[in-house]
Structure 1
């Protein structure tokens, strides 16, 4: 019997428009997990943010956060794997962002504590919305100068703004094999997010690690956005939800029901038997 690892994206895939998992999906997935299904998620979110939106979901195996920069043990927060920028890469990222007058959110571990730092007074509407939805988040670290902004073990940059101002940043980093860069419109919102990571920090690479860690023979994945394409490419089977972008649907093995209609959970219920895998 094949040992299968099932991996889903969160936003737009498992989560509904209210950034929560429908109760029926939670019940189906938890029931299957209790019967032996190896199920996890791979998300661009932090573990802190993912814990909130996946409340009620049983996660008995490590989860992939920050688009693959980290693999965490969710119940303890233990870091099982991490990727970060080298000092040389950091200098280059800073120079490019300064050149295009982009003020980023920087994710880093500073003295062993996870922080999200940004320059006060440089917030645009998208950044203010991001911060407003995370009031009370202990990671938030407003700073007043570059000297305080670029510190610690940095592993993830998020730049929020209009597509036109972020396009030159994307064009630069997407053509440099030291980095992985994505540019996409935020779900249900007008602003765009440009995210910069070390090249090795990807859902695909982290899934390969997790597959080996758990001795799985096969990977089946679910997603909705362009940043899920590399994950689909390394999966044995990959399914796009009905609300997915056309680029992802084009490389999927099939289209399932939407995130609002419990597409992932329904597919799992239909294809996994009580005593194991199909």
Structure 2
């Protein structure tokens, strides 16, 4: 259709007539505003006409056309500004495009949900719901970098269930799984928001405790050890051995180095009779 500088329709073809359910003689000399919804007219006034004055063309713009029965039809519009303010409008119905766009949005949302679910699977231990070794390494690297710039220390605790193979061999793996899940629950109890708990393999767990000194870290480790010692799971009593290392202030250490030190301390606890906490020093 062709629209003059007063925004009156001076020509329209059969497609526009069919789209509006109006004969040609009703459309000619009517305002272009009668063809669009209120929201679209605001957009035409505030964006399209100012754009035409600068660039003389407006392409691939979606508006809401309104027919004689007040039904809204989505349309895509291309406009070219001619001489003396005359503008040339070509438009086509895009209901299917709208439907496709909605389906694409839904598909995108679904993919994002699946991506989040896959990410959670990638960073989570499936049995206990704790973070796994990979995610622990990501988190501890971030904390190490932070602590290196601040006057604070953190503790790393390696924790292992004593004689866990005997539990599996005697009572079965389903009971062993119960033991691990129950231990995971105990390790998460009373944790602070920044504390991290992870299962890094088999019956081995790791606690990362930011902003704590050696004395308080050792006290916490001993409280955990005694709590586990006093728990009964399916008539089974277990104990844990713990290795502890505390970082130095304003120093940057690698995850692998810290984990090796806490593991070394853990094995000292094992070799000394189990059910105890040993401390390693940087």
**Where on the TM-score scale, by shorter chain, does this alignment land: which range?**
under 0.3
What's the TM-score once normalised by structure 1's chain length? 0.22
**Greater C-alpha Rg:** 2
The TM-score, its normalising length taken from structure 2, stands at 0.21
Higher relative contact order (CA 8 A, sep 6+): 1
Structure with a larger share of its residues in strand: 1
